[in-house]
Amino acid sequence: MSPDTPPVTFSTFILSLVTTAAVHFGDMTPPGSDKPLEPNLPGAAQMIEILGMLEQKTRGNLDPDEQRFLEQALYELRMRYVEAVKAEKRIVQP
């Protein structure tokens, strides 16, 4: 690991999954690119499912800060997904 790389913690792992979801939503540019990709809602949904699975499998084993971080990340991603699906329907259906 390089000195510039932060240590891997549960929170940084969750943050990496959240970042991947943001790339799928088209909200962030992927590493090595200078522009966002087209939204990939199935990819974003899969990242949300993975985070939901982690929430279930780690229930009772996280410290309170980790649990709050995971719950907040899931809530925000789920709300973002609902917004994206609504926006996609507006584009397709007048």
For 37-53, the three-class secondary structure string (H helix, E strand, C coil) is CCCCHHHHHHHHHHHHH
- How confident is the model at residue 92, as a pLDDT? 55
pLDDT at residue 7, rounded to an integer: 87
With the C-alpha atoms ordered 10, 15, 20, 21, is the resulting torsion angle positive or negative? positive
Q: pTM score > 0.75 for this model?
A: yes
44, 81 contact by CB (below 8 A)? yes
71 in any annotated domain? yes
Q: Is there a domain that residue 1 lies in?
A: no
- For residue 5, being part of any structural domain is answered with no
Mean pLDDT over residues 61-72, rounded? 96
Q: Kindly state whether residue 69 falls inside one of the protein's structural domains.
A: yes
Identify the band that residue 94 occupies on the pLDDT scale cut at 50, 70 and 90.
Answer: low
* CA–CA dist 63, 2 (Å, integer): 27
Within a domain: residue 4?
A: no
Count of domains in the chain?
A: 1
Residue 80 belongs to a domain: yes
Structural domain boundaries enclosing 43: 10-92
pLDDT at position 66 is 96
| Average pLDDT value for residue range 21-44 | 90
